[in-house]
Amino acid sequence: MIQLEPYSEKFETEYWNAVDKKLKAFDRGKFMDSCKKYLPPDFFAGSDNEFKSLILARKEKLKAAEAYISGTTIDRMNRECFSMYGKKTRMRRLYRVIHDCYSSLAGSTLDRTSLRVRIVQNTGLTVCPYCNRDYINCRGKKVSGAQLDHFFNKSAFPLFSVCLYNLIPVCGNCNRVKSDKALKFASPFDGSLNWIEDLTFSYIGTTPKDMRIKITADGNLKNNIETMKIEQAYQIHSTEVLELVEKEQMYNQTQKDELQEMLERVGLTDKELKKMIFGPEITKENMRTKPLGKMMHDLHKELKIYG
């Protein structure tokens, strides 16, 4: 629900150094030889450090690789990653090492601050990007309010276990509901989506008893909303919506003009007046830190308060 920008080059380097340190003894050559059997042929084109390019691959590249594997080489990947012991499927040791590295990596520290905390800080988030409701701000240098969702499940795609852009800092509720469901979801790092226009909030009803919040979403964003039960979660916020609607009706244009006339002497602008009545205008940038920001942004627009 909230689009995220790529990390800074400085933080990407910081993250790579943490992975590099944790996997010093990892047989990267053997691992890369295995990955190349099922990744897109051009995945490592132009790279002088193939393992690093995998770890720091942007969301678009991971998305294309997952689509290629799922549509072309899934059987080959499964043979490389897993083996059968009787009736049980087990992850091969080469992939188990990188899969299991995630836990120690996420808890690793720099300047006494855990990597989980640093990831949240570097996204600029204080609220969950999936639901835009729950706070995920840190409560100390080693206490993150966020869980890291593996966008492509690490049990199904162990090669992505520690890829930076496969880790999405989210609230515990969204992480649990999304879990390892085999659906096409929309990643907050996906720059090909229009997160403002392709997902919108509205409402029906005019009383606490009949008001219902509606969310309309297109493409993979629809899977996010439906599978993570986002619309259901928002129904407890009908009170906030009703208050906004009543406030807009109360301050009709005539009353606004009268109030504006009274306060002209102190140089109050229309925008300042709206800010006093409805709160500040919500932008794409401050949705990262404002719970219910996307919902209020859309309702401000629908009610012609802002934008």
Domain spans, the chain: 9-178, 199-302
Per the model's pLDDT, the better-predicted residue between 260 and 57 turns out to be 57
| Residues 149, 174 contacting (CB under 8 angstroms) | yes
> Residue 167's pLDDT is what?
96
Entry pTM: 0.90
Per the model's pLDDT, the better-predicted residue between 46 and 76 turns out to be 76
Q: Does the pLDDT at position 265 exceed 80?
A: no
Question: By C-alpha distance, which of 125, 134, 130, 106 is closest to 291?
Answer: 134
Q: Does the pLDDT at position 85 exceed 80?
A: no
The SS3 call for residue 82 is strand
Give the residue-averaged pLDDT of 37-59.
96
> Residue 176's pLDDT is what?
92
Amino acid at 4: L
Task: Give 72-84 pLDDT, tens digit per residue.
Answer: 999 999 999 999 7
> Residue 139's pLDDT is what?
80
Q: Does the pLDDT at position 45 exceed 70?
A: yes
Q: Does the pLDDT at position 141 exceed 90?
A: no
Q: Which two tokens stand for residue 279?
A: 């709160």
